[in-house]
Amino acid sequence: MILFKEAAALSGYLEKQQKKGVSIGFVPTMGALHQGHITLVTASTENTGLTVCSIFVNPTQFNDPADFKKYPITIEKDLKMLSDAGADVVFLPDVKEIYPDGLEKVRTYSLGHLETILEGKYRPGHFQGVCQVVHRLLEIVSPDILFMGQKDYQQCMVVQHLIDLYAIPTRLVKCSTIREESGLAMSSRNMRLSDTERQKAAEIYRTLQYVEQSILPGDLADIKGKAIDRLINAGFRVDYLEICDANNLNIIETWDGKSPLVTLTAAFLGDVRLIDNLVIIHS
């Protein structure tokens, strides 16, 4: 596994590989890796000739400075996990490599309604930050395939929008959410939960499953209310729980029984903010 810290050196190396006909897979992360990240790396090693993983805690996507400060860093363990998983290249840039013109001179993106709903509403500026870092990383790595997790459903949509907007010749592959045995979606932020909180946190997935199992065509206000109550009663502070069209994230108030749906939620347990979603499969 080769480690790069400089963008120019990495681009040069990957250009040579691409000229030789090697296809490049890319997995961007913020580190504190878990099995969810490793599944993306495995998907890349199985489908491309060379797998690049980046670890960069991107300051511009944190709307809450305290969240940025507390973001877990476990670099030695991460490198071991990546090497064991068969990653070929790790990119560990510092802020200057990603934002050479400084954090004040960053690009802005036209993201339409994706920026003002759900995560966009509760984390102002977050998706601008996601686009800034992903766009720059895609310029550096020029991957054939970009692997991202469905755990961050809205993020995948934003990144697909970015790819379309700039006609970037990269295919986005969305990988399923990896969960703990309890159903809790794996997340770097789970490290900040106590054992009791971790058990409680599994209620998020049970609530998403409850929506999937109980939903009927018609007005969705009642089921949505019941789902939010479940979370509140389990001790969460709920930012949102919405049932949306799975294709465009429009919030669905009245379901026709046909359009594909996804339930998405964000809720705090103590000061840890957790997000999850579940696509509703109905027969």
37 assigned to active site: yes
Residue from 50, 81, 89, 148 touching ligand AMP (CB under 6 A): that is 148
For residues 247 and 231, the answer to whether their CB atoms sit within 8 Å is no
Please identify which of the residues 34, 37, 126, 135 carries the catalytic annotation. 37
The neighbouring-strand residues paired with 175 are: 149
Q: Which stretch binds ligand AMP (CB under 6 A): 184-192, 247-255, 256-264, 266-274?
A: 184-192
Q: Is 190 in the site for ligand AMP (CB under 6 A)?
A: no
Q: Which stretch binds ligand AMP (CB under 6 A): 63-71, 171-179, 191-199, 229-237?
A: 171-179
Q: Is 151 in the site for ligand AMP (CB under 6 A)?
A: yes
Structure tokens at 7: 């963008």
Q: Is 159 in the site for ligand AMP (CB under 6 A)?
A: no
Tokens 């102002």 appear where?
124
Of 27 and 50, the one with the shorter C-beta distance to ligand AMP is: 27
In whole angstroms, give the CA distance from residue 69 to residue 261: 35
Q: Which stretch binds ligand AMP (CB under 6 A): 111-119, 170-178, 240-248, 253-261?
A: 170-178
Reading across the β-sheet that carries 261-269, which strands appear in turn? Answer: 237-245, 261-269, 272-280
Q: Is 273 in the site for ligand AMP (CB under 6 A)?
A: no
Instruction: Print burial letters for 241-279: b (CB count within 10 Å at least 16), e (below 16).
Output: bbbbebeebeebeebeeeeebbbbbbbebeebbbbbbbb
Of 147 and 236, the one with the shorter C-beta distance to ligand AMP is: 147
Structure tokens at 83: 């090497």
Residues noted as catalytic: 37
